[in-house]
Amino acid sequence: MMAFLQAHGTELIVKTWEQIYISAVSLALGIIVAVPLGIALTRCKKIARFVIGLASMLQTIPSLALLALMIPILGIGKTPAIVALFIYSLLPILRNTYAGMEDVDPTLIDSAKGMGMTNWESIKMVELPLALPVIMAGIRLAAVYVIAWSTLASYIGAGGLGDFIFNGLDLYEPDLIIGGTIPVTILALVADWLLGIVERKLTPTTSRGGAANDQA
């Protein structure tokens, strides 16, 4: 491993940064689109099944095939990789947002309305905080998916740690394969850990206490 670091240390830093950049932008776009959409679907339940089904269908497309489909539209490089990974991030975030909002106790929503809260105030002050643990679970799952799948982005010239892995496969050099695989695994674990911290910071005390009581 020391020989690998001596030979590819600088390149490893660059590729790791590319992996983080591609994954972070894709996940951020997924959150920006899927969370508001999931909330909106709880108010438009007639189309909720169709929209979630469409997101499920998109995720069944093989990742390499989806990346290849991006090339005629967006060319090669980071942009098509980000768009493809964004599509893959949608389902777990969208499904968990919808499920989390739907699982909020209806009596709490009725109480919010009884206090004179508007629909938006009820979402912001009551439903969203209570649904946050479920939403964050979807975001954490999407983060792990995106970091893992972003290794395939090297096939379309997006860079990242996948360059090491696929070069290692082509050249039959296990050091390159291991040198790309280990950082990807570490990145996924670190991302899940950091998002877990964010979840604990944002989750209301009452939600955490309720979850603890349910486990007990």
Instruction: From first to last of the 216 residues of the chain, give the pLDDT tens digit.
Output: 666 666 767 888 888 899 999 999 999 999 999 999 999 998 887 888 888 888 888 878 887 788 888 888 888 888 989 998 998 899 899 999 999 988 888 888 788 788 878 778 888 888 888 889 999 999 999 999 899 888 888 888 888 888 888 888 888 888 888 888 899 999 999 999 999 898 888 776 655 544 444 443
Question: Of the candidates 94, 87, 124, 99, which has an alpha carbon nearest to the alpha carbon of residue 109?
Answer: 124
Using an 8 Å Cβ cutoff, are 168 and 175 in contact? yes
In angstroms, how far is the first alpha carbon of the chain from the final one?
45
Give the model's pLDDT for residue 206.
54
In degrees, rounded to 5, the angle at the alpha carbon of residue 188 between the alpha carbons of residues 72 and 76 is 15
Distance CA 161, CA 154 (A): 8
Distance CA 18, CA 160 (A): 5
DSSP character at residue 69: H
Give the model's pLDDT for residue 215.
40
Give the model's pLDDT for residue 86.
92
Give the domains, in start order, of the chain with CATH numbers.
Answer: 2-204 (1.10.3720.10)
Give the model's pLDDT for residue 189.
93
